[in-house]
Structure formats: C-alpha cells, structure tokens
Amino acid sequence: MTMDGSYDLLRSLHILAVIAWMAGLLYLPRLFAYHTAAAPGSEMDATFQTMEVKLYRIIMNPAMVAAWLFGGLLLWVDSHRHGGWAFASEPWMIVKLLGVVFLTAWHHFLGRARKAFAAGRNTRSNRFWRATNELPFLAAIVMVIAVTTEFSGR
C-alpha cells in the first residue's frame, strides 16, 4: 500500500473510533438522566447500572483508546509529511487538541459519575444530565470544522 493509502486508512480507523466514542459520550448521560428516577437498590437501579457499566467498559473506554491511538499515529505521520512539528501549533490543530482534552476530561468525569450511581451516591439531577448532554456534541462540531477547514477560508 502507498503512503497515502495507509494515511487514508488511518484516517478511516480514526473516524470510526471517534464515532463509537461520541455515541457513548452522548448516550451515557441520557442513561444517567433516567437513572436519577430509580430508587437506589431497586430493580430499575440495577438495570441502569448494568447498562452503564457495559457501555462505559465495552464501548467507551476501548473507543477512546482507539481514537487516541489512531489520532496519535496521524500526528506522527503528519510530522514526517510536513518535515517537523510546526503544523501542531497552527490554530486549527490547537483548537482540535483542546477539544480532545475536553472530551477526555468529560469521559473521566462521566466515569466518576457512573461509580457514584453504582454506589447509590449520585447527587446530580435529571436536569443537570439533560443540560450538559449536548456539550460533547458542541465540542465535536468545533473540532470537525477545525480539522476539515483548517480555518483557511479557502
């Protein structure tokens, strides 16, 4: 396979991993919103806990690792293509990486919230989970526009 072919394959794998990661980041808080209505110790509580732990461990954690892995490889290949790391400090890349930092922090915040639900110690409301539910998607909009346009105006 040519160099360009493997770069495009890496991009495909990166985007697929990002899709799975985003699906989890958007769905887990939705489960939390419904979970707030279940009495700790009830059957419904147990069902939500199972759905949450499976989504987090089986989908979200591996998808985040894969998005980082393929994104990191793209960075590495880019550094060879551009003959250095100057591209990494262009505004679009800085915005992209800030988005990555935010999504990763949000992922871990959701992980802590999942543990609180599992211990019957959730203190956040249905309203909180519905109000914050769109944050990852807002970050994704900014990041996708950053990588696709590179803010070049062309």
Q: Is 33 a residue that touches ligand HEM (CB under 6 A)?
A: no
Q: Pick from 20, 59, 118, 147: which binds ligand HEM (CB under 6 A)?
A: 147
Residue 18 binds ligand HEM, judged by CB under 6 A: yes
Size of the site for ligand HEM (CB under 6 A): 19
The answer to whether 63 touches 21, Cβ cutoff 8 Å, is: yes
Residue 98's CB is within 10 A of a number of other CB atoms, namely 14
Polymer length in residues for the chain: 154
Tokens coding 5: 């072919």
Choice between 123 and 152, CB closer to ligand HEM: 152
Q: Considering beta carbons, is residue 13 or 118 the nearer one to ligand HEM?
A: 13
137 to each of 54, 63, 78, 141, 144, how far by Cα in Å? 22, 16, 26, 6, 10
State the binding string over 78-117 for ligand HEM (x if CB under 6 A, else -): x---------------------x--x--------------
**Part in contact with ligand HEM (CB under 6 A); list of ranges 35-43, 54-62, 106-114, 137-145:** 137-145
Of 72, 84, 91, 120, which lies in the binding site for ligand HEM, with binding defined by CB under 6 A? 72
CA distance 87 to 24: 30
Stated as kind and residue range, the H or E segment containing 122 is none
Structure tokens, 66: 């894969």
Say how far apart CA 111 and CA 56 lie, in whole Å: 7
Q: Which residues are at the interface with ligand HEM (CB under 6 A)? A: 11, 14-15, 18, 22, 67-68, 71-72, 74-75, 78, 100, 103, 140, 143-144, 147-148
